[in-house]
Amino acid sequence: MEFAEIESLYTGLRVADVRDGMDWIGLFSKGSVARSIRPLIPGSATFGPALTVRGRGSQVQPETMTPEEYTEWARNYWYKKMHIEPYAEEITPGDVLVFESPDLGVGQLGSNNTLKFRTHGANGAVTSGGCRDIDEVRLQGFPVFAQYINQTMTQGRLEYDSHNIPVTVGNVLVRPGDIVVADGDGVIVVPQQHATEVATYARQELEHDKDARRKMYAELGWEPDRSVL
Ligand SMILES: O=C([O-])CC(=O)C(=O)O
Ligand SMILES: [Mg+2]
């Protein structure tokens, strides 16, 4: 599905609405990513088709080296052969990167690669692993939904495995092109074949809910804000 179509279906929908839309078509136990995967930037929200990436634990045990040798090893071996990001070149504007990453306490995402993803037009990233440089990622306003914040780099810990393959993140299968929606309630994944129907009932429930809240705003004498308009 083209991003323009996803945009017209999903703009303004909250994760809660998409959850309802999934229920409305009978997908009660599907889609909701484990609640341990949370927004790292309070208030951030995103949606888009999944560009999937798998990382794997590494068996590489770097030998003892001088710092100069280590610089050479990191730049010309690790970041050229093991921690590679070929998928960045394949980002289509609107994509949400979805990383299946083992829980190795690694800050696989950081302010450098998130900025690279943004320059290619990505709408955000979801990972079962971690993120570092978090203050800068917040400054960038790049929506990251992750299991943890941690300091360590990937060297000798976590390698690139593959991309554009089905992955399992937060106990949910995510296939390339499935629709990812994320906000303060967490992350939900809509199988692409259900994208239109789920959005239809999600929208119905959002409008129903907004009507009820708009009336209570009026009763309270509050000015309507975007949450009720
Ligand atoms: O380099 C890494 O592996 C992660 C990182 O800190 C960044 O992208 O800024
Ligand atoms: Mg960094």
Candidate of 114, 153, 154, 160 to mutate for ligand 1, largest count of ligand atoms within 8 Å of Cβ: 153
132 annotated as a binding-site residue: yes
Q: Is 36 left (phi over 0), alpha (psi -120 to 50) or beta?
A: alpha
Distance 38 CA to ligand 2 centre (A): 20
Sketch out the chain's domains with CATH numbers: 3-220 (3.50.30.40)
Q: What is the pLDDT of residues 72-129, one digit of tens each?
A: 999 999 999 999 999 999 999 999 999 999 999 999 999 999 999 999 999 999 999 9
Q: Determine if ligand 1 sits within 6 Å of the CB of residue 153.
A: yes
pTM: 0.96
Distance 154 CA to ligand 2 centre (A): 11
Distance CA 141, CA 40 (A): 10
Please answer whether residues 137 and 114 qualify as being in contact, where contact means their C-beta atoms are separated by less than 8 angstroms: yes
Q: What is the pLDDT of residues 207-217, one digit of tens each?
A: 999 999 999 99
Which stretch of DSSP H or E encloses residue 70?
Answer: helix 67-73
133 annotated as a binding-site residue: yes
